[in-house]
Amino acid sequence: MSDNNRPALDDTTEWVPYRYHPSKPAAIVFVVLFALSTFLHIFQLVKKRTWYFIPLVIGGIFEMLGYIGRVISTDDIWALGPFIMQALLLLVAPALFAASIYIILGRIILLVDGEQHSLIRQKWLTKIFVAGDVLSFLVQSGGGGIQSSGTLSSMKTGERLIIVGLFLQLVFFGFFIVVAGLFHWRLVSANSNSPPVPASSHAFESETRTTSLRGLTGSSKTSANVAPSSSPDGSLNIHELPWKRHLYALYGSSTLILVRSLFRVIEYLQGNAGYLLKHEVFLYVFDAVLMLAVVVLFNWIHPSEITEIYQKRKGEERDVELRTH
């Protein structure tokens, strides 16, 4: 036993909040990094009016507060308040990132007018996956809430609930990647015989590639000012739309969250005295770095571009319809 009748940190027969002394410098670094990315997301959200990205912003705030909890824990590793604060917020933040990612796929499907290529109708796609995400979020939060009572039995019960919530997240997220990949394959196959991209589209692609930079610098000019053309049969020419870069960003972020969730499942299955929980480096390598990469990725490839182009096209379609009637 250690001082003050507390168990030793390496005593595997006892439950302890931390199996190590948390690093204050590492926690402070990630507080700052998540704060910078999240504040930039808030600016982008308000400027571009992409309100469906609110869950990701809240997730970024959770990450920032979670690492603040770890900073506080460095002063007293036995204080349950800061420990539960960091454990719960860092645990559920990726579920909020996932909610925004699900919505992005729905926006991409609208952009390319590709609902016929989706395994699930666009109307239900976001609802189904967000509902699954909410369920996972609630189960994980419930597990964290039970742990807040501080008793040994509540800690173990809470861990079991958290594992169930993480498995739910893995199932829904895995299915989502399958749906996105199948949509991508069907869309490409259906447009493999479409006409070559006209020379003018190269200018369009150049314009869309600079959209993210202009969004960061505050320029009012966006790629939405360029309208995609139609194929000879009147169908939408998807080759002039920047849907691929957003779909690849979706794949990248989904993979990062999936790896992180697998890490968390293994961590909780090993238990309080498990190898992963004994070494702080794993938390930063397989959680902090991966989740920071997710929020920074969407700072760079912001989905506001999808919304702007889609709204521009729909507005022009309405104008044409009014002129022809």
Q: Report the pLDDT value the prediction gives residue 322, as an integer from 0 to 100.
A: 57
DSSP 125-183: HHHHHHHHHHHHHHHHHHHHHHHTT--HHHHHHHHHHHHHHHHHHHHHHHHHHHHHHHH
Q: What is the CATH number of the domain that holds 170?
A: 1.20.1070
Predicted local distance difference test score (pLDDT) of residue 320: 60
Residue 72 domain flag: yes
pLDDT at 182 (0 to 100): 94
Cα 24 from Cα 285, distance rounded (Å): 16
In a domain, residue 75? The reply is: yes
pLDDT at 294: 97
Position 219 scores a pLDDT of 42
- The predicted pLDDT at position 324 comes to 65
Q: Which pLDDT belongs to residue 11?
A: 80
How many residues does this entry show for the chain?
A: 325
Residue 245 to residue 223: CA distance in whole angstroms:
14
Exposed, middle or buried: residue 24 (CB in 10 Å: 0-12, 13-18, 19+)?
middle
> How many Å is the Cα radius of gyration of the chain?
23
Confidence (pLDDT) at 224: 42
Residue 317 lies in a domain: no
Contact between 237 and 231 under an 8 Å Cβ cutoff? The reply is yes
Answer whether residue 232 is part of any domain.
Answer: no
Beta bridge partners of 230: 236
pLDDT at 273: 86
Tokens linked to 320? 């044409």
Q: How far apart are CA 324 and CA 101, in angstroms?
A: 38
Cα gap 221→243, rounded to integer Å: 19
What is the structure's pLDDT at 209? 45
Asked whether the beta carbons of 260 and 287 are under 8 A apart, the reply is: yes
Residue 201 domain flag:
no
Domain-located, residue 88:
yes
Domain count, the chain: 1
Counting residues of the chain whose pLDDT is more than 70, the rounded percentage is 82
Q: What is the 3-state secondary structure (H, E, C) of 105-130?
A: HHHHHHHCCCHHHCCCCHHHHHHHHH
What is the biggest distance separating any 2 CA atoms in the chain, rounded to whole angstroms? Answer: 85
Confirm if 45 and 307 have CB atoms less than 8 A apart: no
CB 310 within 8 A of CB 228: no
Question: How many helices and strands in the chain, by DSSP H and E?
Answer: 12, 0
What is the structure's pLDDT at 238?
A: 75
SS3 for 236?
A: strand
Quote the tokens at residue 297. 């990725």
3-state secondary structure (DSSP) of residue 243? helix
Instruction: Report how far Cα 96 is from the mean position of its chain's Cα atoms.
Output: 6
Token readout for 242 is 């920047």
Cβ–Cβ under 8 Å, residues 294 and 257: yes
pLDDT of residue 311: 83
Low-confidence ranges of the chain (pLDDT < 70): 1-4, 150, 193-236, 316-325
178 within a domain of the structure (yes/no) = yes
Helix (H, G, I), strand (E, B) or coil at 230: strand
pLDDT tens digits, residue range 64-117? Answer: 999 999 999 999 999 989 999 999 999 999 999 999 999 999 999 988 888 898
55 vs 93: CA distance, rounded Å? 9
Domain that holds residue 43: 24-192+242-307
321 is a domain residue? no
